[in-house]
Structure 1
């Protein structure tokens, strides 16, 4: 795969990711939910940018996370460039890296810019390019919306640790960028021999 095609794939993912996030951010109030199917919902949440909404404590935690991600994206971008120019690299590897890079960059856009271009989503629809932003540069929140509660119920009491507890499978809420990262990592894991054939 050429670098131009890899860039096109990244661009398409970024456009779809940002359009979906901006649409949800400007048409949903934080916490609002729309049921598409019984097992698929659009649920608008925001997080600080780590998996499952984990936060780094301290005044500079969010800034550290965003700067770390920028460095990581630079490393992934070099990996993509190097892999494309290495004639022995497979298309599986190049596609996987491009997906991971697009996903990481998509969430970085939220973290870097959303705090200064959107106002608050609590009990109101957010406005884009507002004069009353909810944050600052590098302190934006990542928008998530896809929710697949495939099964919800009480686990059998005979199960160790979780028995008798309320449980939802699958309870993660994610976005297009997250999906791109997961698919890219999945390609590296499940098609390992093809991705690293040399």
Structure 2
């Protein structure tokens, strides 16, 4: 698979991701929700941490939330360089199509969320109690590297009280599936899922042919 085809995948994912985020950011107030189906809703939230909204500062009190945010964003920048190198190297070494598609999805998703983290704080004003605008006179809601990732896809497949016989959580109200995510997250998860499910196709083992050199005289005698 060529670099051109991989680039097309990346560009398509990035466009869909960023268009959906900009639309939500400029048409929804923070926390606003639209019900599409009982099991699918558009819910605008912003995530300034890692997956599931976790933060580095949740694990240690030695750093503040703002410092943790910069560290996380810088880590993402270094990670995207590594993923890009992995992609280019896999193409040069004629890696399998499955591998290159998977890496392209992961790269596009990671880059999509990096754009939010790096630039959205400067581009948009805040969405608290209002619909945000881009490049407003009052400036953005935060500085470079302090942007928040826009999430909007919510799939509450089931809601209800768990049976009392379930340990720990029995009797509590529970929602499955509760996380809110975006197109970039879907691309990353799909890429990782492809690598796990189709591992043998992504990393095919090379079968070495062992040649046994038999002297001509011995071969003739046999």
TM-score range, shorter-chain basis? over 0.9
Equivalent residue, structure 2, for 1:126: 132
Distance in 2 separating the partners of 1:161 and 1:191: 36
- 1:129 Cα shift? 1.5
Secondary structure of the residue aligned to 1:92 is helix
Contact in 2 for aligned 1:90/1:196 (Cα 8 Å): yes
Contact in 2 for aligned 1:115/1:136 (Cα 8 Å): yes
- 1:56 Cα shift? 2.1
Q: Which runs of 4+ in 1 moved over 4 A?
A: none
Matched, 1:177 2:179: no
Matched, 1:105 2:130: no
Contact in 1 for aligned 2:49/2:56 (Cα 8 Å): no
Aligned residue pairs total 197
In the alignment, structure 1 segments of 5+ residues that lack a partner are none
Equivalent residue, structure 1, for 2:212: none
Equivalent residue, structure 1, for 2:166: 159
In the alignment, structure 2 segments of 5+ residues that lack a partner are 58-63, 206-222
What TM-score do you get using the length of structure 2 for normalisation?
Answer: 0.87
Contact in 1 for aligned 2:25/2:127 (Cα 8 Å): yes
- 1:49 Cα shift? 3.7
Equivalent residue, structure 1, for 2:199: 192
Deviation track 1:22-42 (CA, whole Å, cap 9, x = no partner) reads 000000000000001110000
- State the superposition RMSD in angstroms: 0.7
- 1:130 Cα shift? 1.7
Secondary structure of the residue aligned to 2:152 is strand
